[in-house]
Chain A
Amino acid sequence: MKRTLVWIARHCIAIALAVAFVLPMAFIALTALMPDQQAMTSALWPASWEWSNLLTVFDRAPVLTWLVNTVVYATLATALTLLSSVPAAYALARYRFRGRNAALLLVVAIMLLPPQVLVIPMYLVWADMKLTGTIWPLVLPMLFGDAFAIFLLRQFLLTIPQEYANAARIDGCGELRVLLKVILPLMRPAIAAVGLFTFFYAWNDYYGPLIYVSERPENWTLSLGLASFKTVHAVQWNLTMAATLIVMAPLIITFFLAQKAFIEGVTLTGVKG
């Protein structure tokens, strides 16, 4: 009897939590589909379903431009991060050399360091090179390895048995071929997770574009645009929520397509080490 009660109580708590997590999303979606006059009232349920709101958003603000800029930023950031971070992570996971522990400490310290500490000299450098107002200050540093990506990839690499690489060496593979032909295919899940994280990070980034890109509206990203959206469309909460949905939707769809890679990646950040 007591067992049954505890079982019911647990599931009630879980369901209550789930409702609390879902409700904000539900209200965002419901408001996004309301007609204009209703969005200013306290109504919670749309009187009529205005799916056209999702298209109207694209007319009211250059959302398409922001979307393209965001996709470009996120794609470049992801590609460059993986390209530069995989070899670094491999070196830190698989070779013994002097200064390796110091390098590892540095990776973690840089990963945790608030970006604000370094932002002013960096801004001055990019301003000197006349690159502020473009996405290059956000993307070019990724060519040189990202601490979080290196950390995560290394954690994963530690779980791959060394024997694979050694067998390939005996077969006469050079170090670069070992990495490309043997290790890289084994790293696919970690590369997927890190790629997704980097893409999402860039997609969500507000601070970087605010510092480097905001002076040129034609280069704004979705985050910058959305922050301005409400003020431009003062009380039109329905359109603002529709814009919010448009910004969120690609991430949520991606999540459902790649759920496993995600959960494994998140777990890797906190548990191993």
Chain B
Amino acid sequence: MAVVTTRATHRRAVARSRWRGPKVAPLFFLAPWLAGITLFFAYPLAMTVYLSFTSYTMLDRPEPVGLRNYVYMFTEDPRLWQAVGNTGWFIAVMVPAQVLFALGAALVLTRIKSGAGFFRTVFYLPSLAPPVAATVAFVFLFNPATGPVNQVLAAVGVEGPLWFSDPAWAKPGLVLLALWGSGNLIVILLAALLDVPAELHEAAAIDGASSRQRFVHVTLPSIAPVLLFAVVTGVIGALQYFTQAVVAGSVASGSADITPSAQSPGPPEGSTLTLPYWLFVQGFQRFNMGYACALAVMLFLVSLAFIAVLLRRRSGFAGSAA
């Protein structure tokens, strides 16, 4: 009886809400955001595309130049391929390293019975360090002369590299920085691992599956959506990787400015020059606004491809209705 009453009440409520609120209310609640996407998304996106076909230095009006920016980008830009290569390196190395490391750490946490909360807090805490502060600290920790890391390495008989002063070691140093700050991902993956139904594991164990087989056939498929989320958001993070690269380069090279070096961007020897870094140099230091917009369009197209992958696979993002 009680059930019936609630149902009826519910139906009446639905009918009522259809009749009065829903036409105007959602529009009212969404109005600021709709204005926002026009002002801060649609307009600048259209302008980025438009300016990418112009030459514009903020002094004169934008002058249409057709495809010249794009032709320059692919045939003449002396730094573009280095920037693309570095950004590609971060996607290919930093993202998998971070996901695998976080998965490993999360797996360890699932097996710990005593002090799990303590370990989770310790793993998570460094990810709160502001990127600039963390990067400055890492340049110190890894400084070749007096830094603790190379001293520890020397103590065990290994001669440490020059890290952020060596073009070959600057990016690996940044990967270590990223691993130190992967606490967010650890917590997300830990939650996903704990969500895997225990019955599945038990059933597989009864069927004689080894722990490795259970990991491959039970755990991995269950957490696959979260892993995909981690990889795609990681790739998108790598595409906009800027702060740590700029700060590590300028602090290690002792540059006297807070802004990235315009003359020799990405110290040492361009090894930390990423695509967004190059866009910043072109747009805000050399004031080649038109060309910087062409770089932004390329960045947009690549990002969009990855965003599309995520949205297609995780239709739940948009589909799961109330």
Chain A residues in the interface with B (C-beta under 8 A): 10-11, 13-14, 17-18, 20-25, 27-28, 31, 40-42, 44, 84-85, 87-88, 90-97, 100-101, 103-106, 108-110, 112-125, 127, 141, 143-145, 150, 157-158, 162-163, 166-167, 169-170, 174-176, 179, 200, 203-204, 206-207, 210-211, 214, 222-224, 226-231, 234, 237, 240-241, 244, 247-248, 251-252, 255, 259, 262-263, 266-267, 269-271, 273
The list of the 9 closest CB pairs from A to B, nearest first, reads A144-B36, A270-B188, A121-B47, A166-B13, A145-B33, A114-B240, A91-B29, A87-B29, A175-B25
The answer to whether A158 and B320 touch across the interface, beta carbons within 8 angstroms, is yes
The answer to whether A124 and B122 touch across the interface, beta carbons within 8 angstroms, is no
- Give the number of residues in B that approach A within 8 Å (Cβ atoms): 119
Q: Complex: how many Å from CA A109 to CA B303?
A: 9
The answer to whether B258 and A273 touch across the interface, beta carbons within 8 angstroms, is no
The answer to whether B44 and A91 touch across the interface, beta carbons within 8 angstroms, is no
Q: Complex: how many Å from CA A175 to CA B19?
A: 12
Q: Is B148's beta carbon under 8 Å from chain A?
A: yes
Q: Is B51's beta carbon under 8 Å from chain A?
A: yes
Q: Complex: how many Å from CA A118 to CA B45?
A: 6
Binds A, one of B77-85, B136-144, B212-220: B136-144
| Bitwise interface map of B from 24 to 55 toward A, beta carbon under 8 Å scored 1, else 0 | 01111110110111011101110110010000
Q: By DSSP majority rule, is chain B's interface helix, strand, loop, or mixed? A: helix
13 contacts between A and B (CB under 8 A): A20-B180, A90-B29, A116-B296, A120-B293, A120-B296, A121-B43, A121-B47, A121-B51, A125-B44, A226-B132, A228-B257, A230-B251, A244-B136
Q: Which residues of B contact A28 (CB under 8 A)?
A: 137, 140-141
On whether A103 and B105 interact (CB within 8 A), knowing A231-B251, A271-B188, the answer reads: no
| Bitwise interface map of B from 253 to 287 toward A, beta carbon under 8 Å scored 1, else 0 | 01111110000000000000000100110011000
The answer to whether B236 and A112 touch across the interface, beta carbons within 8 angstroms, is yes
On whether A270 and B192 interact (CB within 8 A), knowing A103-B30, A104-B317, the answer reads: yes
The answer to whether A271 and B226 touch across the interface, beta carbons within 8 angstroms, is yes
Q: Is B68's beta carbon under 8 Å from chain A?
A: no
Q: Is B129's beta carbon under 8 Å from chain A?
A: yes
Q: Complex: how many Å from CA A176 to CA B242?
A: 42
Residue among B32, B130, B307 with the highest chain A CB neighbour number at 10 A: B130
Q: Which residues of A contact B276 (CB under 8 A)?
A: 114, 116
Q: Complex: how many Å from CA A39 to CA B317?
A: 51
The answer to whether B125 and A14 touch across the interface, beta carbons within 8 angstroms, is no
The answer to whether A11 and B32 touch across the interface, beta carbons within 8 angstroms, is no
User: How many whole Å from B11's CB to the nearest CB in chain A?
Assistant: 10
The answer to whether B108 and A117 touch across the interface, beta carbons within 8 angstroms, is no
User: How many whole Å from B158's CB to the nearest CB in chain A?
Assistant: 16
The total number of A-B Cβ pairs within 8 Å is 311
Q: Is B170's beta carbon under 8 Å from chain A?
A: no
User: How many whole Å from B21's CB to the nearest CB in chain A?
Assistant: 4
On whether A226 and B136 interact (CB within 8 A), knowing A91-B29, A162-B322, the answer reads: yes
Q: Complex: how many Å from CA A266 to CA B26?
A: 27
Q: Which residues of A contact B254 (CB under 8 A)?
A: 230-231, 234
Q: Is B178's beta carbon under 8 Å from chain A?
A: no
Q: Which residues of A contact B125 (CB under 8 A)?
A: 21, 25, 252, 255
Q: Complex: how many Å from CA A266 to CA B57?
A: 42
Tell which of A10, A13, A41, A91 touches B25, judged by Cβ atoms closer than 8 Å. Answer: A91
The answer to whether B44 and A118 touch across the interface, beta carbons within 8 angstroms, is yes
The answer to whether A31 and B30 touch across the interface, beta carbons within 8 angstroms, is no
Q: Which residues of A contact B192 (CB under 8 A)?
A: 270-271
Q: Is B9's beta carbon under 8 Å from chain A?
A: yes
Specify the chain A residue showing the minimal Cβ separation from B114: A11
The answer to whether B51 and A87 touch across the interface, beta carbons within 8 angstroms, is no
Specify the chain A residue showing the minimal Cβ separation from B254: A231
User: How many whole Å from A240's CB to the nearest CB in chain B?
Assistant: 6
Specify the chain B residue showing the minimal Cβ separation from A43: B146
The answer to whether B247 and A214 touch across the interface, beta carbons within 8 angstroms, is no
Tell which of B22, B48, B137 touches A244, judged by Cβ atoms closer than 8 Å. Answer: B137
| Bitwise interface map of B from 186 to 230 toward A, beta carbon under 8 Å scored 1, else 0 | 011101100100000000000000000000000000000010011
Q: Is B168's beta carbon under 8 Å from chain A?
A: no
Q: Complex: how many Å from CA A13 to CA B250?
A: 35
Q: Is B162's beta carbon under 8 Å from chain A?
A: no
Tell which of B25, B27, B136, B240 touches A230, judged by Cβ atoms closer than 8 Å. Answer: B136
The answer to whether A40 and B146 touch across the interface, beta carbons within 8 angstroms, is yes
The answer to whether A223 and B140 touch across the interface, beta carbons within 8 angstroms, is no
Q: Complex: how many Å from CA A62 to CA B258?
A: 15
On whether A143 and B32 interact (CB within 8 A), knowing A21-B123, A175-B21, A206-B132, the answer reads: yes
Q: Is B67's beta carbon under 8 Å from chain A?
A: no
The answer to whether B112 and A14 touch across the interface, beta carbons within 8 angstroms, is yes
The answer to whether A117 and B130 touch across the interface, beta carbons within 8 angstroms, is no
Q: Is B292's beta carbon under 8 Å from chain A?
A: yes
